[in-house]
Amino acid sequence: MRTDIVIGCDHAAFSLKETIKSHLQSRGLTVADTGAHSEDSVDYPKFGIDVGRAVSSGDFEKGILLCGTGLGMSMVANKFPHVRAALCNDLFSAVMSRRHNDANVLVLGGRVIGDVLAMEIVDTWLDTPFEGGRHQRRLDQFDTIEDMTRESAGH
Ligand code: RB5
């Protein structure tokens, strides 16, 4: 059976990650947890890389990343081709990141929001469809950026 969603965090959001994982499972989703697995201090890039790579490769359609602010994880995940990671510490951003940006990674700040809001954001994000149309045209332009990045890396 295909695993529905991949989730990762650092120590700063370990507790929120556990809460969200249980919440996802209670929604009937299967979850791949790439760690961290405790509140022992770790470096967040490794965990952002694991989830970014898993979504970028197509192994997972969607992922969730958490760190203290959500900033570091967003920066890491958005370095991967085809990853559209959206830091959403409020409900409006969660809705719009799906409707207009077809975000495939939701990023949350464990030191910014509480558990109840975080779960509302997760539910909203998972349940909001992409609108397509002119927004798809705009997302198609991301491919050009990825080409430009590859070209400049070659020089
Ligand atoms: C860890 O202290 C903190 O820097 C990290 O969780 C995150 O907020 C980085 O952006």
From the list 100, 29, 116, the residue with the least C-alpha distance to 64 is: 29
Residue 63 has pLDDT above 80, yes or no: yes
- For the chain, domains (ranges, CATH) are 5-152 (3.40.1400.10)
CB 73 within 8 A of CB 48: yes
From the list 1, 3, 7, 2, the residue with the least C-alpha distance to 122 is: 7
Residue 13 has pLDDT above 90, yes or no: yes
The percent of residues above 70 in pLDDT, for the chain, comes to: 98
100 part of the active site: yes
Residue 143 has a pLDDT of 87
Tokens matching residue 68: 């203290």
Atom of ligand 1 nearest to the CA of 11: 6
Which tens digits make up the pLDDT trace of 105-129? 999 999 999 999 999 999 999 999 9
Residue 155 has pLDDT above 70, yes or no: no
Which backbone phi and psi does 9 adopt, to 5 degrees?
A: -155, 175
pTM: 0.95
* Residue bearing the CA closest to ligand 1, atom 3: 68
From the list 93, 48, 54, 88, the residue with the least C-alpha distance to 72 is: 48
Q: Of 23, 67, 82, 135, which residue is the catalytic one?
A: 67
155 part of the active site: no
